[in-house]
Each structure stands twice: as structure tokens, then as C-alpha cells.
């Protein structure tokens, strides 16, 4: 009788084990704490403290790296220099920013996928592979978006204390710049140079941190737009801003005409910004490709601060 009972116990154990194997579940998986995250692309139940994480946004890669969270995969095709550590083969290349390798992502069996605007068209497909959350890293209010993402990442990875400390430092440094700028009543124009073609960005744009949180007044009537308003060098001379901040898209996407070359012309040389040494060429990898991180936001602050007189 004892032998029969022992044999029966073994059979039951094997059957239970086979069940969990076939369903892809285990006791450990079943007991994982989950939280519901409301985000710009929907509402998603995600595991608390996931360990197999794929991130498509470089700003969020930076944010997680700042507080010691490891990831397993990211897009490597246009990896910024400051994220060189992720060239290591232990981090899997999961496609381009606008072209995810869905097959590779499926093979990795991630616990969580983090995307931003560039991957929104693939949100439904990615959600079928693993819990997927969508973040806003640019938009009407840079700092507000950063706060939302800090809270979301803090909640998911139990890093609220560490991330809030970093955020407080950023807010302090932004206020320091804003106080100085406003005391001098300075204005500025933010220009994206794309192979010599120019677009200007004002309030509620991807570069509005310069105006909203650094205190520079706008010049001209530039509407809110993701891609900016097309301008020329005569427009810059007409508005004659105190500061000109230039983001060189060609530096990250390729092009024959760099921003430095485009701005080396007789019209610009007549502007007050040129005469006073107030044309600041910003790091395009930070400002265009990888906004929304902790170290990246601090780098943005440092660049503007270094150019202030």
C-alpha cells in the first residue's frame, strides 16, 4: 500500500510539473506581485521588479542605468556614445527605434517592454509578447513628462527614493538657470538644423524646456509643433535673439551639411548672438535622440549653463 501511495505521489508531481511547464508558469511566476500601470498607450498589468526588461527609449535606458537596473535588450543601431556600455554583446539588439525585431523580442521572453512615441505603431504587437508600457519623453512639458516617467519607473522597479532624489537635483539646477536667465531678461531661439535646412521650436515643443524651465523668453510667433516651424537665416537675423541654441540633426541621422557649416555665413555673423558668442551648438545625441533620462537631462542643463554669461 505504501508503495502504491508513493508511486501515486510521484505521478501527481510529474503531472503538476508538466502542467506548469506546458503553460509556461511556475509557482514563482504565479506568486509574482503585479501592479497596474496607466500610461499614454493604455493600462497594463506589469510584474513588480521585472528582471527581463527590454527598453526602446534611450532616455529610459539612461534612467534605469542611473539607479542600477539592468536590462536585457535595446535598439543598438543608433546607440548614443554615452550609452557605449550597452554595446556589450550581453545586451541583445532588438532592432531599430522605428523597426522592432519582433521575432527576436519574442525569443527573449521579456517580463516587460518599455516603449515611447517612435514605437507606438507596434504597441499592440509588442503587448501580445509581454506587458508593454508606453512613455512620453517629449511633449508640452518636458519636466512634467520626466516626473511621470520617474514615478512610473520608481513604482515598477521599487526605486522611488533614488529617482526622486535625482529629480530633486534636476529641479534645483533648472531653477538656478531660470533665476539667472530671468534676472537678465534673456530670450532665445532654438533651431534644429537638418542638413542645412532650419526649423525653429517655441513653446510646447520638443525643446520647450529652454523656455518653460530655463526661463528664456521666446522670439517670434512659433507655433507648437513636433517638427518645428520652417525658417531661414533671414528670419533669425530679423528676430535677433540674445541666444541661439542649435541642435544638429545631421550629426545623428547623417547629412552633408553640418550645423556648424550651415551657421558659418554672413547673415548669422551680423546677429547679436554671434557677436556676443551666444550661439550654442547642443549635443544632438542628448537633445534629439535621448531626452527624458536622468543623466541626459543633467547634460542638457550643463550645456546651457556652460553657455550662459
Domain spans of the chain, in order of start: 19-135, 184-307
Can you give the pLDDT at residue 128?
A: 96
Report residue 250 CA to chain centroid gap.
19
Pick from 87-91, 203-207, 280-284: least confident: 203-207
Q: Measure the CA dihedral 48/129/123/133, to 10°.
A: 0
- Indicate the SS3 state at residue 28: helix
For residue 3, pLDDT over 90 is answered with no
pLDDT computed for residue 191 by the predictor:
97
Beta strands 53-55; 112-115: pairing state: parallel
What CATH fold (topology level) applies to the domain 19-135?
Answer: Rossmann fold (3.40.50)
Q: What is the torsion angle, in degrees rounded to the nearest 10, for the CA atoms of residue 125, residue 126, residue 131 and residue 136?
A: -110
**Beta-strand runs (E) in the chain:** 34-39, 42-47, 53-55, 73-74, 92-93, 112-115, 132-134, 188-194, 197-201, 229-231, 243-248, 279-282
**What pLDDT score does 41 carry?**
92
Closest by CA position to 190, among listed 300, 309, 57, 306: 300
* Average pLDDT value for residue range 217-237: 85
22 and 141 Cβ atoms separated by less than 8 Å: no
Rounded to 5 degrees, what angle do the CA atoms 32, 35, 36 make? 140
Q: What is the CATH number of domain 184-307?
A: 3.40.50.1980
The pTM of the full predicted model, rounded to 2 decimals, is 0.86
- SS3 of residue 286 by DSSP: helix
Return the minimum-mean-pLDDT range out of 190-204, 222-236, 288-302: 222-236
Calpha distance 46→96 (Å, rounded): 24
Q: How confident is the model at residue 138 (pLDDT cuts 50, 70, 90)?
A: low
Per-residue pLDDT at 28 exceeds 50: no
Which of 9-23, 49-63, 204-218 is the least confident region? 9-23
Read off the pLDDT band of 248 (50, 70, 90): very high
Specify the DSSP element, H or E, that contains 34.
Answer: strand 34-39
255 Cβ neighbours under 8 A, 6+ residues apart: 194, 195, 196, 249
**What mean pLDDT do residues 11-28 have?**
41
pLDDT, average across residues 245-252: 93
Q: Please, which residues bridge with residue 134 across strands?
A: 115
Q: Per the structure block, which three cell numbers stand in for 163?
A: 529617482
Amino acid at each position: 500500500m505504501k508503495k502504491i501511495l508513493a508511486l501515486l505521489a510521484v505521478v501527481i508531481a510529474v503531472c503538476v510539473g508538466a502542467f506548469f511547464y506546458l503553460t509556461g508558469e511556475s509557482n514563482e511566476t504565479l506568486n509574482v506581485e503585479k501592479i497596474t500601470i496607466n500610461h499614454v498607450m493604455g493600462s497594463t498589468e506589469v510584474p513588480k521588479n521585472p528582471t527581463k526588461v527590454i527598453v526602446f527609449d534611450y532616455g529610459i535606458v539612461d534612467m534605469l542605468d542611473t539607479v542600477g537596473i539592468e536590462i536585457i535588450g535595446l535598439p543598438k543601431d543608433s546607440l548614443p556614445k554615452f550609452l557605449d556600455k550597452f554595446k556589450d554583446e550581453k545586451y541583445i539588439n532588438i532592432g531599430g527605434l522605428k523597426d522592432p525585431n519582433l521575432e527576436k523580442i519574442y525569443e527573449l521572453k521579456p517580463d516587460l517592454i518599455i516603449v515611447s512615441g517612435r514605437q507606438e505603431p507596434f504597441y499592440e504587437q509588442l503587448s501580445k509578447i509581454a506587458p508593454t508600457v508606453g512613455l512620453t519623453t517629449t511633449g508640452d512639458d518636458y519636466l512634467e513628462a520626466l516626473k511621470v516617467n520617474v514615478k512610473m519607473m520608481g513604482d515598477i522597479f521599487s526605486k522611488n527614493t533614488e529617482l526622486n532624489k535625482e529629480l530633486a537635483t534636476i529641479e534645483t539646477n533648472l531653477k538656478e538657470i531660470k533665476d539667472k536667465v530671468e534676472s537678465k531678461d534673456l530670450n532665445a531661439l532654438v533651431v534644429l538644423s537638418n542638413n542645412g535646412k532650419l526649423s525653429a521650436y517655441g513653446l510646447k515643443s520638443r525643446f520647450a524646456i529652454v523656455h518653460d524651465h530655463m526661463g528664456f523668453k521666446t522670439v517670434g510667433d512659433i507655433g507648437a509643433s513636433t517638427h518645428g516651424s520652417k525658417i531661414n537665416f533671414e528670419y533669425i537675423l530679423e528676430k535677433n535673439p540674445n541666444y541661439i541654441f542649435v541642435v544638429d540633426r545631421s550629426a545623428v541621422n547623417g547629412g552633408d551639411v553640418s550645423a556648424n557649416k550651415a551657421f558659418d555665413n554672413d547673415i548669422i555673423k551680423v546677429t547679436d548672438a554671434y557677436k556676443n558668442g551666444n550661439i550654442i551648438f547642443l549635443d544632438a545625441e542628448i537633445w534629439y535622440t535621448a531626452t527624458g533620462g536622468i543623466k541626459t537631462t543633467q547634460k542638457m542643463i550643463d550645456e546651457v549653463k556652460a553657455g550662459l554669461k
